[in-house]
Structure formats: structure tokens, C-alpha cells
Structure 1
Amino acid sequence: MGGQVAAAQAAGSIFGAFGGLVAKAAGAVAQTTAETKMGASEEQQALAKKAQSRSDFLAQLASAKQCGGQEKALTLEEYQQVAMAPSVGTIQVVPMSQQSIQKVLAENIEPIAADGLLSGQIKLTGKKVYVQEYRVMFDVSGEVKANTRGGYLLGTDYGSTRVTVTYKIPNVDVAAFQAITDRAWEDFKQRLGRKGLDVVYGQPADGAVYEATEEPSTPAKPVYTTVNLGHSKRTYLMMAPTGMKLVPRGFAGIGAGNIGKRIEWSKTNQEGLMITQTINLTEHETSGSGSSIWKRQSSADVKSALIVGNSPMEWPARTAVNSESLRTEKPMAIDGQFANFRDVGGYDSTKDAGGRALGLFQNMMGQGANQYKTINKEVDLDGPAMARLSLQGMVTYNQAIVDGIK
């Protein structure tokens, strides 16, 4: 890079004003070239993938041959099975459907040992309780962004950068998610039933503080809601047990409800209970935003991680009259692989002819080139694994919610 900068300085001194333009272009190109080389080239990335594939194969071969113990001689068929096995970190996916998860739904799934998931308590002893809502939000798509703003410092113009990573389940099987929701609901009712409370599952005939009037997702008409998290967002499939409706929510949340009913229920010792479960597919990572003067690169990524916990502005449990709530202290990550994430497209301005031409033009104008990158991923769910891990998380939260009810 020193030689390129020296050449730029020489051009400025020899050719005067025109040389100044050339110098700016040469200097900016030198800077961009140096920055580009900080990352791995396509050839280096390809070589790394080959090395990883070879490492995966050798690891699987060693496991099959039981290396480290009494080594086993593999038959040709066994060797071919190792050779055809997916890379470490990927799984053989059984597509998600109502049929593929039936065995999992019949399993006895117990809570995972986890302390301190929720804080707060809800007092229901001695009251007539209407469980009005059991809402389940399944993360089915989203995006993560990061960016830097262009800046100018000490004679150098720094271009902006922007990275966007998107993901989605290409074919959402609503019937399968309905079956998981119904199974989690039955588990919740069994656990709450052991508390010995006076419980009615559903809406009272003469109205409630919060009326459940909103239709949840059905196979014929999926319902989605998008939650903005600042530098990222998630889109959820909104589910409820079969036959149950949801309480409407607006920009400010659930609202004040029917004040008259709140007063009436308070006098007659009645209470409403609303439950929300949230299942996230990914962990979002972002470098956020800032100035290119201080931060030359943007980074964003989504990683496979099944995380159970409440969405922002949502409580796992809350009451209608006294507005008591249980709050999530730490969303819980469930161990296990449940999907493969595939790159299906995107855009990189540093590899696009038009983008590179625009960058060169910006260099000639004495400006740092702006860089943009988009990565699109699709999520191939393994039905049995997704059902089992989701239910493990929801059953654990069911128990934590019941434990928080006094």
C-alpha cells in the first residue's frame, strides 16, 4: 500500500491540479484495496470450505472406525455411508409436517431444569380465574442490519457501509405449528390444574375486561406480526389453541380494556389470565451503526439457535384486573440442532461490475466508495427436532408460569 500512496503523491506534485484529481483517485483506490484485502478472498474462502469438508470427513471416518479404542475395519457400504454423510453442523432434515411430528407429540416431554427464568408473581388463590388467551408466537422470518455513515477527516473521505442478512422458512406448515401449540396448551392446563384453583378455560359469557376477538392463524389464513428490535426485526406466526381467539393489541400494547368490567370483576373476585409463549429460530448479531471514520466495516449475521422467551413488550403471563405479571429474566436457549440454514442469494457491491464502476467514479471524485452487501438465507426445518425442542422450551415455561402463580 505504501507504494500506491507514494505514486499518488507523485502524481499530485507532477501534474498539478489534474494530478490532484488523479492523486485522490489513486489514494482512495489504494485505501479501498487495502481494506478489501483485510477480508478473505473468494479463493481463500473456497479453500477454507474444502479444508473444513476434509476435516469433517476425517472426523466422521475416525468416529466410524472407533479410533482411540479398538479400531474397526469398515466395509465398503459403511465407508460409502461416511462419504455421503452431511457435513458436521448440518442434519438430515425430515420436512416439517403434521404427519412427521406425530410421534413427538405423543412423547412425555418434561421441563428442563432451569432456575430464575421469570420474576414477579401472580396472586390467584381464592379467585375465579378465566384463562382467556394462550398465545404462541413462532419466529418464521426476519432480518439483521448493520451500517456505518460516510465521513471526512484530515483530507480523507470515508464511504459508508451497509450489511443486511435475511432469513425465512420458505414453506410454513401452519397445521404442524397448530399441532405443537395444541400440545403445549394441553400441558399448561394439566400443570395449572394441579394448583387447585377455580379455573375456567375460555371467555366468560357476559363479557370480560379484555375481549378475545382476533382470529389467530389457520392453514387457510396465516396471521403474522413483525416486531422491530432496532437493528433487527422478527416476523412471527401468531398461533392459539384450536378454537381460541386472541386479545387484540395495538401500537401501545394491550390497552386499558373495559374499565366497567374491571371494576365489576374486582368486586366479585374474578380475574383474567393471558399467556404468551415466544419461539425464536435465530440469534441476531450486529455491529450496529456508527461513523466510517471510526469503524470501517459493518457486520451482521443470524445463527441457528432455538430460543424460548418473551418478545419485547410482551409478558409470559399477565392478569386483566390487577395487571400483575411474570417477566422474563433470561430467555432460554434449547440445545440441539433443528434446521439447516442455506444461503440462497444476495448482493455484494464489491463483486458487482456496476457497483465497482460506481465506486471507481466516487474515487475519482475524491470520495470513499460506498459498500453494500445483502445475504439471503432459507431455513429448512427438521419437523421432529423442531417440535421436540419447541415443546421442551414451552413445557419448561409452562411450569415456570405455574410456579409463579400463588
Structure 2
Amino acid sequence: MSAVALIRSLVRRFCPPASARPAAVASALNCAALLVGLAAPAAHAQGPADGPAPPKAPARVLQPLSLDTIAAALQRPVGLAMPSPRTSGALQLQGKRFYIAEYQLLVEVGSEQPAAPEAALALGRPVDSPALQLALRAHPDLAALQALTDRAWADLQARLAAAGVQPEAAATLLGQGRAVYEADAPASTAAAPVIVSARSGDTLRRYLVLAPSGMGIVPRVPGGLNPGNLAARLAFAAQGIEGLSLAIAVNLGGLDGGMARRSGFAGSAPALSPLMEVVPAPQAALVLAHGQLALVNLAEALVLAPEFGRLVPAEAEAGRAPADALAALLALGRKLGVAPGDPPRLDTLLELDGPATARALLYGAAAANQAIADALKAAR
């Protein structure tokens, strides 16, 4: 049966007959046009004879992350109702007065993972080694991240108030006493960024540690927190006092050495792509009670779908002096992490779009904040 005969048969079978009324005529024509469109690929699968391929859409123009490009996101209301990710663990705060010792926002600035090229290609580039180290790094504007951290902290305070949870000031509760854990270490500044590393399986991630303006953080040792002040812990139990550490981690890149996902580089293996997700913070927890040593943590990663950046090869930065303290610290970390005989590194740079990054990051932080508020309300 010819294509024309097939279409006529389909029209007679599936389309309503056209009467003299204009609406009926239009309905019949629309139906016929739809069927013709469905049959069109078979009738027009002639390749180059149909003319040149349509031009590719121009690359999306990014607005680099800065205070100017995140201004609109910072103006959005705080404390808006939203669902929260699932958590595990529980605290006991009944009859207790408590304070928040620290609020950490950890933002990924680098990650790496072993991978194997496919057909001597990786990320669209030829590779003459059977193994390689796939590496991603971001260079976010620290002033913009600080403003987003302050906004996330304001959002948490609004959610705690809405939940009827009222922490007190540490100075009010402690008086002349000591805390179990003192939040006396500085968080990241433009001149002195603070980086922590965390390994999960073969993947190593590096995070920039941020805290609200004017707030310190509790120092960590490689295994997490140190034993703390035992006398203060006993005093906390006797006086019905509790101190809390809060932490949220945000990943910016998804690495997959087995190419189980779509890559940010077309036609390349292994897979590497921008991927923002809120995950359990390394060496910390969503909520950690100092006296009880009890915690609540995320039981799942919250994957945020919006596009917020793009990956580009990092060779363009080769030979350049580090732009600031963060770039210098990351460069030093990359050099110290390479040993003789290691597989070659394939470096990529994640360029962030300011408005999209701010919206997604604040949404993820707000969801984690809601989980914190829910956990503290349940503990009361």
C-alpha cells in the first residue's frame, strides 16, 4: 500500500466525517493533518535530499555568579511552605533549653573519580591511557555564596518560628560555663577559604565551608568532632541544656565513571554533568546534639532538577596564576593529590549561572531547613 493510500485509509477510519458546518470541517482537517504528521517521517526519510539540517540553537548565555546576578533570588520571601526530605534519627529536647552553636552550609567546589575511556575518548577528547582521573572543579564567587548562606540562615529562623521552636542565645544559657563544643573556628572568607574533603567509595569531593556572617564553626578532626568537654557535657545533662550543630551540604557535579547517566559533554564517556543535590554533610549531621551526642540526618539526597551551569574543558586555565585565595587553595590540593604513576587527570570547569544557581541552592537549603524545623519540633 502506498503512503497516500495508507493516509486515506487512516483518515476514513479515525477522523470524523466533515459536514457543512465550519467547526466539523476544521475538526476533520486537524485530524487529517495529525495523521499526515505521524506518517511524515516514513515519507520524508530521504536524508540530505530534504535540504540542510536546521541550525543549532545558540549556546545559552550564562550570567556569572555574583552579588548582582543573585539579587532577585535574595529578594524572595523566606519561610515559604514546602515539603522536606526524609530524615533518620531523633533527638530528645523535652524540658530542655537549647541554643544553636553553628550553622554550616557546605558547597562543593571540586570532585574527582577514577574512570575508563571508551574507544580512546573521554569527555570528547582523545585519551591514550587505559585509566584516568575524572576531575571537576567550580570557582564560585565567595561574596555571593556568603549572601546566600545568610539568606538560608534567615529562612531557617523563619521556619523555626513558624514551628514554635525557639532557640536561645548561647551566652544566655551558658553564662560563665563552658560549652561541650566551642564554635570558635572561623568559616570561609575571601582571604581564607576553609575546605573539607570527603570520600565516598572512589569519589572524592571538596567542600567550601560557609557560616552566617559573624558565626563561627566547631573545629573538626579527621574523624569528625573531638570528644568535647566532658565536664560541660555532665553540666548540660544536669541543667537541662543542649547545644546544636546544624549542617547542610550541596553537591554541584555528578560524576559517573561507568556512563550510567547522560554526560555534560556530547558523545563522550564516562559521564560528567552539572548536578545539584542536597546530601548529608561530611563530618557532621543535619542536626547534632552536643550533650546527648544524638543526631538527625538526611535519609535521602534531594536532587534539584533545574539547569544551573555548564561544563567546559579546563585547559584554558593552564599556566594562569590563581585568581584568588580559593583558586590557589584548590590548585594546591590538586598538586598534593597527585603521586608518581597516577593515571592522567582530565580536568573540567563548572561555570555557574548566577540566577539559576541562587534559586536552586536556596530552594535546596530551604527544604533542608524545613527538615531541621520538623526534627526540632518533634523533639520538643
Q: TM-score band (shorter)?
A: 0.5 to 0.7
Residues 1:266 and 1:281: Cα distance change in structure 2 (over 3 Å): same
1-side partners of 2:233 and 2:272: how far apart?
A: 43
Sequence identity, in percent? Answer: 28
C-alpha offsets along residues 134-181 of structure 1, whole Å, 9 cap, x if unaligned? 001000112111369xxxxxxxxxx983121111124x3111000000
C-alpha offsets along residues 338-372 of structure 1, whole Å, 9 cap, x if unaligned? 001112349xxxxxxxxxxxxxxxxxxxxxxx995
Aligned-pair CA distance for 1:317: 0.8
Q: Could you say what the CA RMSD is over the residues aligned between the two structures, in angstroms?
A: 2.8
Aligned mate of 2:278, from 308, 325, 328: 308
Aligned mate of 1:196, from 164, 173, 192: 164
Report if aligned partners of 2:186, 2:216 keep a CA contact under 8 Å in 1: yes
The 5-angstrom pairing of residues 204-223 of structure 1 reads 204-206=174-176, 207-223=178-194
2-side partners of 1:305 and 1:256: how far apart?
A: 35
2-side partners of 1:202 and 1:128: how far apart?
A: 10
- Residue number in structure 1 paired with 2:106: 137
- Residue number in structure 2 paired with 1:97: 66
Q: Secondary structure at the match of 1:200?
A: coil
Amino acid at match of 1:390: L
2-side partners of 1:388 and 1:319: how far apart?
A: 30
2-side partners of 1:166 and 1:160: how far apart?
A: 16
Asked if 1:125 corresponds to 2:94, the answer is yes
Aligned mate of 2:232, from 252, 261, 266: 261
The 5-angstrom pairing of residues 165-180 of structure 1 reads 165-170=134-139, 172-180=140-148
Report if aligned partners of 1:161, 1:371 keep a CA contact under 8 Å in 2: no
What 5-or-longer segments of structure 1 have no aligned partner? 1-66, 69-81, 149-158, 289-298, 347-369
Q: Secondary structure at the match of 1:210?
A: coil
Asked if 1:236 corresponds to 2:207, the answer is yes
Asked if 1:277 corresponds to 2:245, the answer is no
Q: Secondary structure at the match of 2:274?
A: strand
C-alpha offsets along residues 304-328 of structure 1, whole Å, 9 cap, x if unaligned? 1100121344311110111121122
- Residue number in structure 1 paired with 2:331: none
Residues 1:381 and 1:267: Cα distance change in structure 2 (over 3 Å): same
2-side partners of 1:173 and 1:371: how far apart?
A: 31
Aligned mate of 1:393, from 342, 364, 379: 364
Aligned-pair CA distance for 1:221: 1.8
1-side partners of 2:135 and 2:55: how far apart?
A: 32
Q: Secondary structure at the match of 2:167?
A: strand
Q: Which moved more, 1:377-386 or 1:91-100?
A: 91-100
Report if aligned partners of 2:98, 2:168 keep a CA contact under 8 Å in 1: yes
Aligned-pair CA distance for 1:222: 1.4
TM-score, normalising length: structure 1: 0.63
Q: In the comparison of the two structures, how many residue pairs are matched? A: 279
Report if aligned partners of 1:145, 1:165 keep a CA contact under 8 Å in 2: yes
What 5-or-longer segments of structure 2 have no aligned partner? 1-32, 35-53, 118-127, 260-268, 317-340
Amino acid at match of 2:154: E
The 5-angstrom pairing of residues 252-401 of structure 1 reads 252-287=223-258, 300-345=270-315, 374-401=345-372
Report if aligned partners of 2:220, 2:283 keep a CA contact under 8 Å in 1: no
Asked if 1:162 corresponds to 2:131, the answer is yes
2-side partners of 1:108 and 1:84: how far apart?
A: 38
2-side partners of 1:191 and 1:255: how far apart?
A: 30
2-side partners of 1:83 and 1:92: how far apart?
A: 17
Residues 1:84 and 1:111: Cα distance change in structure 2 (over 3 Å): farther
1-side partners of 2:81 and 2:270: how far apart?
A: 33
TM-score, normalising length: structure 2: 0.67
Asked if 1:182 corresponds to 2:150, the answer is yes
Report if aligned partners of 1:163, 1:300 keep a CA contact under 8 Å in 2: no
C-alpha offsets along residues 50-109 of structure 1, whole Å, 9 cap, x if unaligned? xxxxxxxxxxxxxxxxx98xxxxxxxxxxxxx968435xxx3211111121111111126
Residues 1:260 and 1:235: Cα distance change in structure 2 (over 3 Å): same
Report if aligned partners of 2:62, 2:353 keep a CA contact under 8 Å in 1: yes
